Amino acid sequence: MWAYGHAGTLSLFEKRYAVALTKAQIIDLYRVRAAWYDFSANLYYLIGFREARYRKEAVAALGLKTGDTVVEIGCGTGLNFGYLRAAVGGAGKVVGVDLTDAMLAQAGQRIAREGWSNVMLVQRDAAAYEFPAEVQGVLSTFALTLVPEYERVVENAADALAMGGRLVILDFRQPENWPLWLVRLGVFVTRPFGVSLDLTDRKPWLVMQKHFSRVTTTLHFGGSVYIAVGEGREPGNKRGRR
């Protein structure tokens, strides 16, 4: 997600957009956005943001096979479900987890419309979600940075994938060399989805390095979008060994 990193007096912009939303505020915001979420997400194409391409790349990076189980954290309206379902086939399972009832209601309509019997929804805070015993892939797109306890989610995913499989995160980040005005612009255009300047301190792609033995990161859109792929449980961090 977007971030800022400068000292000094807070401007009006910082005062208004600095503080991360609470979970209750996130639910309120996405209840308002849910019905139009898919349409508004597509508007970013107008600025050259190739959302579908990034989604496909992220799903391909999971390396899923027919029959696998994949969990998507912060699944929203289910924009990735078609790609995930194609990867695991009819014999596999897709589990979408999200905090906001209204986003899951949209996802439910998509599932019913498509007749997908192997796509399940769970309404849960990602921080409290317990992964299934057997899971071969975990995906999160444009969502994990909104979760204050994102490190716990990464760790839980790494535990769940200890027998093999990958965690893939697709999200925004602040390129180091961006001037403040561009950072502010980035926050401004992603604000409708709950982005705030404070999210600067949340760096899921770095946390992944603590919990996975191999992490690769690919950048897109001028370095402001990353796809991080983690695999192999870092043994030193395994629960019960600490």
Ligand X SMILES: C[S@@+](CC[C@H](N)C(=O)[O-])C[C@H]1O[C@@H](n2cnc3c(N)ncnc32)[C@H](O)[C@@H]1O
Question: Where does this chain touch ligand X (CB under 6 A) — which range of 57-65, 86-94, 125-133, 209-217?
Answer: 125-133
Supply the minimum distance, in Å, between the C-beta of residue 189 and ligand X.
13
The Cα 156–Cα 136 span in angstroms is 13
The C-alpha angle with vertex 47 and arms to 73 and 199, in degrees rounded to 5, equals 40
235: left (phi over 0), alpha (psi -120 to 50) or beta: alpha
Give the x-and-dash track for 46-65 against ligand X (CB under 6 A).
--------------------
Q: Report how far Cα 108 is from the mean position of its chain's Cα atoms.
A: 19
Sheet architecture: strand order including 137-141: 119-123, 93-98, 69-73, 137-141, 166-172, 225-233, 212-220
Site string for ligand X, 180-219 (x = CB under 6 A): -------------x--------------------------
List 17, 49, 81, 142, residue binding ligand X (CB under 6 A): 142
For residue 61, the minimal CB distance to ligand X (Å) is: 15
Quick check: helix, strand or coil at residue 140?
strand
Which residues here bind ligand X, judged by CB under 6 A?
23, 26, 30, 41, 74-76, 79, 98-100, 103, 125-127, 141-143, 146-147, 193
